[in-house]
Amino acid sequence: MSRAFTPRMIERLRPRVEEIAASLIRALPDEADLVSGLAYPLPVMVISEMLGVPPEDHERFRGWSEKLARGLDPMLTEGLLSETGRARREFGDYFRELAAIRRERPGDDLLSALTGVRELTEAELLATCVLLLVAGHETTVNLIANGVLALLRHGLLAQAARRPREVVEEVLRYDPPVQLTVRVALEDVSLGGTPVPKGTPVMAVIGAANRDPAVFPDPGRFDVTRSPERHLAFGLGIHFCLGATLARMEGEIALSALASAAPRLELAEPAPPYKENVVLRGLASLPVRLRRS
């Protein structure tokens, strides 16, 4: 699966991602919600096309994906656990049907390739598809929306067109889409004087690590000139995010295209609402007024 996400393979998608972004931005009205108008549809269209999901099914994923993303949070209520389980089953049923179609009529897509891997059990195949679709867009939605908000609040939107790579890296550090992750101690260790026995799950706060003053001078400042890029937004080592190259490219294209098309973009709501998620930090909506060139 990792072969589909190498930098070379992802770079082949650039023209299509640029085409989708330009089309979505052209369709935005003068008063728009950038989450529903750009940040959400761009990554879901890209990962859906990679997997071979028909366009008419894209909107069906929204409810399922939101439930599964919320299911990552700690200390869920019984109600949320039930909703998450139902969403997982419905998502799995959908991909079970689509995989059967791809086995009969394979296409040039990732799902067709995965159905041909005999070592994958059906459960593993379905889990992989759900993971790819949810992880392939939920986090990037937050990256794009969080990025626009940070740029507008700091008066730096023009930098997205001039230096998109640096802007995306600073957004990933300053307001990462994923705030928490969990690791399990492989041996008895001590963290800050606290004993952590072998086998204990440990919650690592990525958002705090990315504001570590020992690593980042003046960490609360949004600074697109920071170098080198040492944030942990994509994890580290064997846990490094499979889709990092794709997320970076989508973020760079979305932010730079928006800055070029609407250089006088402004917030319509000074304090836009956030989703209730704890692990995945992102805006529920981002109302803006477009001032196109």
Question: At 292, is the pLDDT very low, low, confident or very high (cuts 50, 70, 90)?
Answer: low
Residue 37 contacts residue 24 (beta carbons within 8 Å): yes
User: Averaged over 175-191, what is the pLDDT?
Assistant: 94
Q: Which of 41-45, 64-68, 76-80 has the highest mean pLDDT?
A: 41-45
pLDDT in tens, 251-267: 999 999 999 999 999 99
pLDDT in tens, 7-42: 888 999 999 999 999 999 999 999 999 999 999 999
pLDDT in tens, 106-161: 888 888 888 888 888 888 888 888 888 888 888 999 999 999 999 999 999 999 99
What is the CA angle 21-23-24, rounded to 5? 65
pLDDT in tens, 219-257: 999 999 998 788 999 998 888 998 999 999 999 999 999
Of the chain, the percentage scoring pLDDT greater than 90 comes to 58
- The token pair at 45 is 């269209």
Q: What is the pLDDT of residue 67?
A: 81
Across all residues in the chain, what is the average pLDDT? 91
Residue 178 pairs with which residues in a beta bridge?
A: 280
Count of C-beta atoms within a 10 Å radius of residue 166: 18
- The token pair at 250 is 């989508």
Above 80 in pLDDT, residue 73? Answer: no
More confident residue, 87 or 63: 87
Q: What is the pLDDT of residue 108?
A: 86
Above 70 in pLDDT, residue 102? Answer: yes
Residue 98 contacts residue 111 (beta carbons within 8 Å): yes
In the three-class reduction of DSSP (H, G, I as helix; E, B as strand; rest coil), residue 210 is classed as coil
> Mind listing the domains of the chain with CATH numbers?
2-177+242-289 (1.10.630.10)
Residue type, 9: M
